[in-house]
C-alpha cells in the first residue's frame, strides 16, 4: 500500500512533554519519569484506507490530520489509497487496514455473501448517497422520465446502478425503454461530452463536475439525483476491522470524533479545506475541487436529517426501505438487519455530532 503523499503532514509525529507537578518523596530519576510518561501517552497507530483516489470529498479526513485533530485524540493515522471498494473491504478484513471509507451498499452486498466476515460500519459520512444521472439537455433529457427511448451510459464496476431498477419503478419509467451502454470508467465523461450517449450514471460530485471541466456548458447539463426521486440509500461510511474495534475501542471513538471535527472545519471554510487537500493531490485544480466539495457538503453530508439529528447515524426505518430498494436489483440470501451492518456504539452523543 502506498501513502497518499510523502508530505509528512499526512501523518504528523507526536511529541510528548512531561510536567512534574509535585515531589512524592520517591527516589525516581527524571529520566525514569519521562520514560513512564512517554509509554503511557504513546499514540495508537491506525491504518486507514480510502477506496478511491483523493479528492475534495475526503476533506474531513485530510483536515483531521492536517489540523492536528487526530493527534489531539492520541492517534497516529496513516492513510492509503485502495484500488476500489472491494480492495478497501479486503484490507479491513485482513487487518492490513484498521478502518476504511467505503459505500454502505457495497458493504451490504459484501455481507450477504456466504461466510463473509462480520465487518460493520461505525460512522456515516454521506447521509445521502451521491448517485445521480448526469444528462445533456441538448440530447432531450431534462427530467428523469425523459430517459425513455434514450441511451444511458454505465461505467463498468459502477455500483450506483444497483438502485436504478427501484428508481425507475418508483417513477413509472419502463426500464426496457432505456438502453444501457457499458464502457470503461475512463471514457464516461468523454462519451457524454462528445454526445455519444444521452446521459451517464455516476456520482454527482464526480461525473457532473468532470463533464463541466470538459467544456460542456453548465446550462446544457442536468443532474438527476437519485435522492431527489425517492432513493433512500446512504452513501460513504467508515468501516472497521472487528478485532481492532474490540481491542482498541477508544481509538475508534477518537478517530470518529476527529473526523466529525474535520467535517465542521470543512463546512465552516470550504476554500481553506480545499487548499489543504490540494497539498496532497497531484495536479488538482482548485476551482474544480472547490465545486466538488460544495456539492458534497450541500447534497450528501449536511442534509436536513444531519442538521436535525447529527452526523454519523442511521435511521432504522430508512435503512430497511433502502434495503428493499436495493433488493429490486438482486435478491438477498438473507435480508440484512441494521445490527448486522452498523454499530453505533462508537459514536459520540447526538448533541456532539450536530453540524450547522
Is the per-residue pLDDT at 332 higher than 80?
yes
Mean pLDDT within 9-35: 35
211-267 pLDDT tens trace: 877 778 888 899 999 999 999 999 999 999 999 999 999 999 999 999 999 999 999
Q: What phi and psi values does residue 37 have, to the nearest 5 degrees?
A: -65, -40
> pLDDT over 90 for what percent of the chain?
81
pLDDT the model gives residue 29? 37
Is the per-residue pLDDT at 275 higher than 90?
yes
146-194 pLDDT tens trace: 999 999 999 999 999 999 999 999 999 999 999 999 999 999 989 998 8
**pLDDT band at residue 282, thresholds of 50, 70 and 90?**
confident
pLDDT the model gives residue 178? 97
Mean pLDDT within 37-61: 88
> Which positions ≥6 away from 241 have C-beta within 8 Å?
92, 93, 95, 97, 98, 99, 119
Q: Is residue 169 a contact partner of residue 230, using CB atoms and an 8 Å limit?
A: no
pLDDT the model gives residue 40? 54
Mean pLDDT within 2-16: 36
Q: How far apart are CA 46 and CA 96, in angstroms?
A: 10
pLDDT the model gives residue 214? 78
pTM score, two decimals?
0.88
Is the per-residue pLDDT at 113 higher than 60?
yes
Average per-residue pLDDT for the chain: 89
Is the per-residue pLDDT at 9 higher than 70?
no
Q: How far apart are CA 211 and CA 123, in angstroms?
A: 31
Q: Is residue 75 a contact partner of residue 251, using CB atoms and an 8 Å limit?
A: yes
Q: How far apart are CA 227 and CA 133, in angstroms?
A: 11
Mean pLDDT within 122-143: 96
Residue written as grid cell 470543512 = 266
Q: What phi and psi values does residue 135 have, to the nearest 5 degrees?
A: -125, 160
Length of the chain: 356
SS (H, E, C) the chain: CCECCCCHHHHCCCCCCCCCCCCCCCCCCHHHHHHHHHHHCCCEEEEEEECCCCCHHHHHHHHHHHCCHHHHCCEEEEEEECCCHHHHHHHHHHCCCCEEEEEHHHHHHHHCCCCCCCCEEEEECCCCCCEEEEEEHHHCCCCHHHHCCCEEEEECCCHHHHHHHHHHHHCCCCHHHCEEEEECHHHHHHHHHCCCCCEEEEEHHHHHHHHHHCCCCHHHEEEEEHHHHCCCCCCEEEEECHHHHHHCHHHHHHHHHHHHHHHHHHHHCHHHHHHHHHCCCCCCCHHHHHHHHHHHHHHHHCCHHHHHHCCECCCHHHHHHHHHHHHCCCCCCCCCCHHHHECHHHCCCHHHHCCC
Mean pLDDT within 323-352: 97
Is the per-residue pLDDT at 126 higher than 80?
yes
88-101 pLDDT tens trace: 999 999 999 999 99
Is the per-residue pLDDT at 130 higher than 90?
yes
Residue 193: other Cβ atoms inside 10 A: 18
Phi-psi group of 140: left, alpha or beta (phi > 0 → left; psi -120 to 50 → alpha; rest → beta): left
Q: How far apart are CA 11 and CA 89, in angstroms?
A: 22
Q: Is residue 30 a contact partner of residue 240, using CB atoms and an 8 Å limit?
A: no
pLDDT the model gives residue 16? 28
Amino acid at each position: 500500500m502506498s501513502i497518499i503523499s510523502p508530505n509528512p503532514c499526512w501523518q504528523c509525529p507526536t511529541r510528548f512533554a512531561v510536567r512534574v507537578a509535585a515531589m512524592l518523596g520517591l527516589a525516581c530519576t527524571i529520566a525514569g519519569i519521562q520514560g513512564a510518561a512517554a509509554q503511557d501517552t504513546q499514540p495508537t497507530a491506525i491504518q486507514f484506507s480510502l477506496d478511491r483516489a483523493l479528492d475534495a470529498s475526503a476533506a474531513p479526513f485530510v483536515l483531521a490530520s492536517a489540523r492536528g485533530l487526530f493527534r489531539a485524540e492520541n492517534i497516529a493515522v496513516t492513510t492509503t489509497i485502495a484500488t476500489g471498494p472491494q480492495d478497501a473491504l479486503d484490507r479491513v478484513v485482513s487487518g492490513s487496514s484498521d478502518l476504511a471509507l467505503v459505500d454502505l451498499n457495497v458493504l451490504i452486498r459484501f455481507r450477504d455473501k456466504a461466510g463473509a466476515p462480520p465487518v460493520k460500519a461505525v460512522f456515516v459520512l454521506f447521509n445521502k448517497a451521491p448517485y445521480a444521472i448526469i444528462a445533456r439537455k441538448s440530447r432531450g433529457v431534462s427530467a428523469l422520465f425523459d430517459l425513455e427511448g434514450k441511451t444511458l451510459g454505465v461505467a463498468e464496476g459502477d455500483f450506483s446502478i444497483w438502485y436504478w431498477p427501484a428508481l425507475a419503478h418508483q417513477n413509472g419509467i419502463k426500464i426496457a425503454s432505456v438502453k444501457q451502454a457499458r464502457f470503461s470508467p475512463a471514457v464516461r465523461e468523454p462519451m457524454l461530452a462528445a454526445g455519444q450517449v444521452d446521459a451517464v450514471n455516476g456520482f454527482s460530485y464526480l461525473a457532473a463536475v468532470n463533464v463541466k471541466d470538459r467544456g460542456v456548458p453548465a446550462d446544457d447539463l442536468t443532474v438527476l439525483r437519485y435522492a431527489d426521486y425517492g432513493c433512500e440509500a446512504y452513501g460513504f461510511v467508515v468501516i472497521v476491522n472487528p478485532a481492532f474495534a474490540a481491542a482498541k475501542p477508544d481509538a475508534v471513538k477518537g478517530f470518529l470524533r476527529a473526523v466529525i471535527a474535520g467535517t465542521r472545519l470543512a463546512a465552516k471554510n470550504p476554500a481553506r479545506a480545499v487548499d489543504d487537500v490540494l497539498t496532497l493531490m497531484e495536479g488538482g485544480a482548485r476551482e474544480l475541487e472547490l465545486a466538488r466539495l460544495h456539492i458534497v457538503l450541500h447534497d450528501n453530508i449536511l442534509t436536513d436529517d444531519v442538521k436535525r439529528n447529527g452526523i454519523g447515524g442511521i435511521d432504522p426505518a430508512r435503512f430497511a426501505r433502502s434495503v428493499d430498494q436495493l433488493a429490486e436489483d438482486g435478491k438477498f440470501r438473507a435480508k440484512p438487519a441494521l445490527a448486522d451492518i452498523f454499530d453505533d456504539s462508537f459514536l459520540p452523543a447526538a448533541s456532539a455530532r450536530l453540524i450547522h
